[in-house]
Each structure stands twice: as C-alpha cells, then as structure tokens.
Amino acid sequence: MTVHKNDYLPLAVSGIQVLNFPIGRKTAVPYTRRGDGSKYLLLVHGILGSRSDFDAMLTPPSGWTFIAIDRPGHGSSPSIDGPEDFEHTVLSDAELVRAFCEAIGIEKAYFFGMSYGGSVVLALSILFPELVLGCAVQGAQEDGAELVRHSRGMRMFAELLLKRRRPFALRALAYYYLNRTRHLEESPESLKIFYGLMMNSHEYGLLSKMPNLVRLCYLNIRHTNKAVAAQNIISVIELKLDGALANIKAPCIVIDGEQPHPALQSRERIYARLPASLPKEMHSFPDVGHLVSFFAPQETKRLVIQFFERQRP
C-alpha cells in the first residue's frame, strides 16, 4: 500500500483566486495546480483538511491537469469571520467550486472529493451537471441521518437543531473543536483521540509509522477555523442528498475502506442510489476505513483515472 512521502512540506501555492462568494462577500481560494493536460481533475478535501491532503496524489498522468483547492477556513485560506456572517455548507461549497472553475476558465472537469469533499462533489454533480464530466467520491456522506444514528455526539447536536437552537449548536460545536485542539499534540496517540470514529485501529497503526502524515494532520487541525468546521459538521448532519442521487448524470466511482465506523459507512448506499443506467463503479480497500485516501493515495488515484479514462466525455 503506497502512502505519503517520508518528508513533509506544505504544497506550494500555484495561485489564489478571489471569488465574490457568498453574495456580498469575497473569498480567496488558494490552489495548487500540476500538469498541463486538457483534462482537468479538481480535488476537494474534507473537514479539518487542506489541499496538502492530496500531496501523494497530485502528480497527473499525461494529458491531465490536477488542481487541489483549500476550502474557506482551511489550509492557507485567509482568516474569515464566524458562521453567523458566512455560510459554510455542502451546498454553498458546491457553488464555490463551480464559481472557482468559472473564474479560472474551466468549462468541464472531473472531480474527486474526500469525506466532506465527497459530499460537495455529489452536490456539485446534482446542481451543476453541465460542469461535471465525472465524479469520484471517497468516504462521502449523502444522508446525515445515518451519521446521527450511529454517533452519540452527533445525535446531541442534531437534537439541538430539532429544538431550533442552531446558534447554540454552532457555538457549542466550535467550542468543542477549540477545546480539543488546545490539548492536541503532534503525536499519533493524540490524533487518534482527536479523530475518534474517523480512524480505525489499523489506520492508527499505519499512522504511528508515518511522522510526515502525523505532521500534516496536526497542522491541518491547527490551521482550520473551528467555526467553519462546526458549520461543515452541522451541514452534514442536515444533509439529505439520498433522494437526489438518482439525478446524477456523470459517471461516478465510489471508493472507501472496508472498515469505516458504522456512522461513516455510506459507500454501498450511495452506489445503490445512483441511476442503474449510469456508468458507475464501487471499490473498497481492505483493513483501512474512512481515511483511505491518506493511506492508499496512489492506488486511489489509479482507480479514479482508469475509471475516468474509460468514459467518453
């Protein structure tokens, strides 16, 4: 299983694209661009992540251009206001990706999303089918009810939302992340405690031998705006894409590990709800769970590119 490189340096910024998004506000999106091919693959990271998550995947084959972005509040993106003044949801991030593509002159592209980023790619494929030539999702969530059902912590915040106490739920979740981050250390043991259900025991064993990935995850968490992370999580709790997946028109490949926490087991549900006539594939990696893109980046890239190459644009 190919993993991240043994040395860690943050990905160099190729450019920063300023977008008028959301309406009335400007957002600066840092990105790293590799390759000069005519086929574009845009990569979207998850909550508490960054474009550096794709370091080991960001060498494109001939004919391709790969672009990884930092979503607002993550990575190298500039400081922003709290959630009361700024929307950070799966749907708004799908619109952000669309606006980013328009701003840099991309009319059609392929998309890969990890975790929350996978949910963004699904939403993008539903809302803007004219943009999406193909979608690849790893560890995406399509229905927040499943996450809530299997996670006591998420259930608590969902109950606050049902009681129409959204501002309190957002503040409480942001405080939770801030408090956890204060106690975070740059060690596999500390990251295992922080990630909780997102990391299984096999992934922890791999992480323990990868100081470069420990460093990446530590910096990602430190640099994430916790108010943004809170809005992202609340957005996933409220997510209801399952009924709309049948409207996706672009070929889709669904990837995950075989051993994610039950709260994150969405691979088979997503695959089943995609149209039967749609070119689609489903793949799983043994032993690993929700963080498969970290621990099998080259294999993931190979599956994704081979699938897209078999499709007719």
The pLDDT value given to residue 82: 44
Domain 15-309 is found in CATH 3.30.1370.100: no
Q: Which residue has the higher pLDDT, 10 or 246?
A: 246
The pLDDT value given to residue 24: 55
**Average pLDDT of span 271-278:** 97
DSSP 84-126: TSS---HHHHHHHHHHHHHHTT-SSEEEEEETHHHHHHHHHHH
Helix (H, G, I), strand (E, B) or coil at 255: strand
Query: Per residue in 181-233, pLDDT tens?
Result: 999 999 999 999 999 888 999 999 999 999 999 999 999 999 999 889 988 98
- Listed by start position, the domains of the chain span 15-309
Residue 81 neighbours by CB distance under 10 Å: 11
Query: Per residue in 281-302, pLDDT tens?
Result: 999 999 999 999 999 999 999 9
The pLDDT value given to residue 159: 75
What confidence category does residue 20 fall into, taking pLDDT thresholds of 50, 70 and 90? Answer: confident
pLDDT score of 98 more than 70: yes
pLDDT score of 234 more than 50: yes
What's phi and psi for 308, nearest 5 deg?
-65, -35
Contact 206, 59 (CB under 8 A): no
Specify the DSSP class assigned to residue 261: -
**Average pLDDT of span 124-140:** 98
Q: Mean pLDDT over all residues of the chain? A: 89
Percent of the chain exceeding pLDDT 90 equals 69
- Write the CB contacts of 163 (distance below 8 Å, at least 6 apart in sequence): none
C-alpha dist (Å) from residue 150 to 27, 144, 247: 35, 10, 27
The pLDDT value given to residue 6: 46
Tokens 């005519």 sit on residue? 38
